[in-house]
Amino acid sequence: MARVLIVEARFYDHLNDMLIAGARAAIEEAGHQAEIVTVPGALEIPGAIALAAETGRYDAYVALGVVIRGETYHFEIVANESARGVMALTMDGLPIGNGILTTEDEAQAIRRADPGQLDKGGGAALAALAMLKLRERFA
């Protein structure tokens, strides 16, 4: 049984709840155990995963959050840098599923977060588990 850490940037509660529901369901249906840690925003997700990886307690990670375009350049910074940070960790060999949504508006975010629609939380969890399996294959 794998131990999967879900790292969520809790900013939009209702959207994060949907992402977490999808991720948790996918992890549990696959027979694994999920734990959740919350960080202030998407920029903190890679740092939290890096800190957790140092403990050796987790086998895989799921990054969850929602970044909705606003009126300033901040959207691009948060979207790009959180993705860059997660990608850097995956290149270091950590099995991570990236479920950080970057959308134009809340309607797009709802469609992607809802487990009954696109279920990007569940998809990110399945990606993390697939990468864990691949890492085990190559070990």
Q: How confident is the model at residue 71 (pLDDT cuts 50, 70, 90)?
A: confident
Does 64 show up as a binding residue in the annotation? no
pLDDT of residue 72: 86
The pLDDT tens digits for 76-111 are: 999 999 999 999 999 999 999 999 999 999 999 999
pLDDT of residue 118: 98
Query: CA 61 to CA 69: how far, in whole Å?
Result: 25
Contact 20, 28 (CB under 8 A): no
Does 11 show up as a binding residue in the annotation? yes
The pLDDT tens digits for 14-59 are: 999 999 999 999 999 999 999 999 999 999 999 999 999 999 999 9
- Catalytic sites, residue numbers: 74
Query: CA 18 to CA 24: how far, in whole Å?
Result: 10
**Predicted TM-score (pTM) of this structure:** 0.97
Residue 73 pLDDT > 90, yes or no? no
Q: How confident is the model at residue 65 (pLDDT cuts 50, 70, 90)?
A: very high
Closest CA to 88 of 49, 55, 52: 49
Does 112 show up as a binding residue in the annotation? yes
pLDDT of residue 48: 98
Does 113 show up as a binding residue in the annotation? no
Helices 106-113 and 120-138, interaxial angle, to 10°?
50
Contacts of 110 (CB under 8 A, 6+ apart): 15, 18, 117
Query: CA 115 to CA 99: how far, in whole Å?
Result: 13
Does 20 show up as a binding residue in the annotation? no
Q: Is 50 buried (19+), middle (13-18) or exposed (0-12) by CB count in 10 A?
A: middle
As for how many domains the chain has, the answer is 1
Domain that holds residue 31: 3-138
Alpha helices per DSSP H over 8-114: 13-29, 45-55, 74-91, 106-113
pLDDT of residue 35: 98
Query: CA 83 to CA 71: how far, in whole Å?
Result: 20
| CATH code of 122's domain | 3.40.50.960
